[in-house]
Amino acid sequence: MNLTEAGKHVQELTALIRQHNHSYYVLSTPTISDYEFDQLLEELINLEKEFPELASPDSPSHRVGGEITKDFKPVKHKFPMLSLNNTYSVEEVKEWEERIHKLIGKNAEYVCELKYDGVAIGLTYRNGILMQAVTRGDGVQGDEVTANVRTIHSVPLRLNGAGFPDEFEIRGEIILPRKSFENLNKIKVDEGDEPFANPRNAASGSLKLQDSKEVAKRRLDCYLYSLPGNIPGSETHYESLMTAKSWGFNISGYIARCKTIGDIFEFIDNCNTARHEFPFDIDGIVIKVNSLVQQQELGNTSKSPRWAIAYKFKAERVATKLLSIDYQVGRTGAVTPVANLTPVLLAGTVVKRATLHNADIIANLDVRIGDIVFVEKGGEIIPKIVSVDLDHRNPSFIRVEFVNKCPECGTSLTRKEGEIAWYCPNEVNCPPQIKGKLEHFISRKAMNIDSLGEGKIEMLFDLNLVHSVADLYDLTYDQLLGLEKVFAQTDEKKERKISFREKTVANILNGIESSKSVGFDRVLFSLGIRYVGETVAKRLTVHFNSIDNLLIAGYKDLIEAEEVGEKIAQSILDFFRNPKNIEIIHRLRSKGIQFEMKEAQQVLKSDKLKGMTFVITGTFDQFSRDGIKKVIEENGGKNAGSISSKTTFVLAGENMGPEKRKKAESLGVPIISIDNLLQMLI
């Protein structure tokens, strides 16, 4: 087959595959079998390999993935991705509609849509071809995940028909259908990894996988529900969605135009009744003013559109019997009580366990073994006991007393003044604390050793190969090859076996080696210092630049760092006073782990704000506070949380508090606007 013949056949295959893909994933009316579809796709892929010049940016071959993304580039949104005002109250929805009537009259029509429990995404098309996919991020800018989104079959790579703008953006939600979620978790359990807690977390994690081929395997889906720009010929939100549907976008069929508040609540009630039968998770209904002109007239606040509101379903509540209480120990040593229950159906799943949070909750609920308790799902994810049915309590039931010794190592528990949790102080030898620290260390936001799932960490610990994070860097090929462990069946997991074969071992060692290039801020976060999260770790690395400077820092030095208060400062001091922790740091440094900021990390965009300290207050229409803080830091300035004599400027948005204004004026600190700040940077 010559190039001309191949080109013609590629065009035919592309059109045919695109048609079948749309029929299957968007219209839900497949016209050929999965096998026949896969054969067509394989034929196209082979032709593009033989004739690479024929592969186009919108080829269906992108659906199988293969592109590797090491870093997800930040992209500023053309239109801010605002969040919706949420309510659980029927009365607040009525009040919202009354405000709409006062502002634009009583001729408003509404559109009701499902509120998907997924990850917000913005898709940009140019000349009908998908060019960019960006996550919501902080609403001002997000991360580009185009290669991964191309693998989602319900996202069109090339639009159908005509009439679409040369360039436009459409927004929606990326979700993981329940069936895909169950399959994914089955694979994770079989491989010895911890399953995802819920489909939303799984969808979010999938979008940030570096290998798009792995994303393709997870079978994500996408529903579109918003076009922030003007679409020619559309006067209403509903018309714009139907136009987008004609171009090939996956617009949900669960959508209704409503004239009255009664119509709105009829739609809400119907969806609430049927939601567990949907193939995906929702947590409420979004109500929007339909007219695009009226939407513009109503406008936005600094955070949310005035023309839309989200009604969230109240958590379902069921009654069941409390059988016993277990006590789990986390990586920080915090002891959490977990209730074992008579199995009961709640929000579409069978619940056997629920959190009791802490000792104070147990005391306040006065919960007793044998009680009939009421269980809810917090945020549709984690079951929790919210109350006790005292009418059915047997007088012989004994009051539950929180344990006073660690259930894992027997060490006496401690609780600091002013804190809720009880802790096991034996952080060096308490098994779940050690495993928790290891799992935190390898996590994506820390050292990102993705070849070591939690099941493998548990296996290495149980086989006495790893006892601290530094031990990971002493592992050898010969130590790992051939290792096997059978994990016994539990209520949550089937019996499973993990085997370390050649490829598994190579991936683990390569992942460990690659982690040596991780920046100092993530290394500091990975150490698991209590209260030092991602943000605080970044602030500490900017302030101190190296672990050596941090090690010699005193209490006063620490609290001078941004976002470091008394509690965090004391926790850092306690961590570095422990000789075991210092030993681990020395071992990690000897293996090449980054314990100082590289010069490239310290380079600023400019020094125009050098020596200036800003306090940000009020709200801003076009910018998030985090975005403003980042701009200040990138140009040499510092951010502070409170106004003092050291403050150079107070950057004020709308609704600045009167007390802050009074304090700024009393100290003679100038109050500036966002426009003044931007002028400083010119």
Region class of 30: left (phi > 0), else alpha (psi between -120 and 50), else beta: beta
Question: With bands split at pLDDT 50, 70 and 90, how would you rate the model's confidence at 517?
Answer: very high
Q: Could you give the domains of the chain?
A: 3-64 (1.10.287.610), 81-312 (3.30.470.30), 319-343+351-424 (2.40.50.140), 431-517 (1.10.150.20), 520-602 (1.10.150.20), 613-680 (3.40.50.10190)
* Percentage of the residues of the chain whose pLDDT score is greater than 70: 93
Determine how many CB atoms are found less than 10 A away from the CB of residue 386.
Answer: 15
Which H helix or E strand runs over 93? helix 90-104
Q: Is the pLDDT of residue 58 over 90?
A: no
Of 605 and 128, the one with more pLDDT: 128
Per-residue DSSP letter, 68: B
- Report which of 201, 219, 26, 228 is spatially closest to residue 123, judged by C-alpha positions: 228
Residue with tokens 């949380």: 641
- Report which of 217, 236, 216, 218 is spatially closest to residue 226, judged by C-alpha positions: 236
* Percentage of the residues of the chain whose pLDDT score is greater than 90: 46
Specify the range with the lowest mean pLDDT, choosing from 149-153, 172-176, 619-623: 619-623
603: Cα separation from own chain's centroid = 29
Of 355 and 602, the one with more pLDDT: 355
Q: Is the pLDDT of residue 380 over 50?
A: no
- Annotation marks residue 456 as catalytic: no
Question: With bands split at pLDDT 50, 70 and 90, how would you rate the model's confidence at 163?
Answer: confident
What is the predicted pLDDT for the residue at 455?
Answer: 80
Report how far residue 297's alpha carbon sits from residue 306's, in angstroms, rounded to the nearest whole number: 10
Q: Is the pLDDT of residue 599 over 70?
A: no
**Whole-number mean pLDDT of the chain?**
86
Burial class (CB in 10 A: 0-12, 13-18, 19+), 352: middle
**pLDDT tens sequence across 488-507:** 655 555 667 788 889 889 99
Cβ neighbors of 313 (< 8 A, separation 6 or more) are: 88, 272, 275, 283, 284
Q: State both tokens at 289.
A: 């003013």
> How much is the pTM?
0.54
Residue with tokens 């714009």: 240
Question: With bands split at pLDDT 50, 70 and 90, how would you rate the model's confidence at 469?
Answer: very high
Axis crossing angle, helix 34-50 with helix 3-25, rounded to the nearest 10: 150
Q: Is the pLDDT of residue 601 over 60?
A: no
What is the predicted pLDDT for the residue at 477?
Answer: 94
Q: Is the pLDDT of residue 24 over 90?
A: no
What is the predicted pLDDT for the residue at 266?
Answer: 94
What is the predicted pLDDT for the residue at 34?
Answer: 65
Of 81 and 69, the one with more pLDDT: 81
Amino acid letter for position 662: K
Average pLDDT value for residue range 428-447: 91
Q: Which of 73, 115, 314, 493 is catalytic?
A: 115
